[in-house]
Amino acid sequence: MRRVSIPFAMLLLCGCMPRPVSSGATVFPPAYAALNLPPTKQRARMVKRIRASVGRSAPSALTQALDRALAVIGQLPREDFVQAKGRALAYVDAPQDIGYDQTISDPYIVALMTAALDLPTDRSANVLDVGTGSGYQAAVLSPLAKSVTSIEIVKPLADQARVRLAAMGYRNVTVIAGDGFAGASDRGPFDGIVVAAGASEIPAPLIAQLKVGGRIVMPIGPGTFQEQLVVGIRQPDGALQRCTLGVTGFVPLTGRGARPTAMHGLTDRSIPFCYGAALT
């Protein structure tokens, strides 16, 4: 669940300044004229913007996995996953507050993280989603996987997401209220794990629950402003081969995986880019 600073968000939502999107491109206030379009057309424009932004940043990231992720995102009513006050801005490329100091990540980041899992095309994957939030990421994963387990540490959010996803017909998604640091060993091993909260390192229990060749995507860094979106692929010896999609900033992982409050440091620049250039 990615976040943006409150002063910046206020300026953005009132249209007082151009907004840099995740890829570094800029969307100026006239683009908000699209808010008057029907949701189906707003979704189509959003998908087109995401694909164009990825192509400008790193053409090699225009993968079939991204196409599959965008096909789902292009059909998913994001307005049903945000608070009532935010429905009009559901297709603006920005995170939104969903209560309890949590956010729904912007569609660009959801597309990147989903694509980075590179799930098998036969929909046989078993996937773990840490940080359910409103359930949007789980809903994106559902058509791409056989089974999705989604964990949310804030019980009211978990309860709300469980009801929402069930009402929308997502039968292969199980929402659990609990600490995502520990994963869900009884439901693994997993082909893919996506974590929507930042930590100083990838939790060992999550690595242990990955299949060999499985992927985990998670924001990692000593602090929110030093995070990068890391993709780890589990090797036969249990180690992770890592690459990065670029710098980012998420709400922090809480529970056992929480960063020490006094922790300081720099972004690890030794991790290579997954596609030769930053996407965020």
Q: Which residues are catalytic?
A: 105
Q: If we measure between CA atoms, which residue out of 206, 193, 191, 192 comes closest to residue 256? A: 206
- Beta partners for residue 250, in sequence order: 2
Spatial CB neighbours of 165, under 8 Å, sequence gap ≥ 6: 135, 138, 139, 142, 173, 175
Spatial CB neighbours of 17, under 8 Å, sequence gap ≥ 6: 11
255 φψ region: left (φ > 0), alpha (ψ -120 to 50), beta (else)? left
The sign one gets for the Cα dihedral 9, 10, 14, 17 is negative
- At 45, give phi and psi (nearest 5°): -65, -40
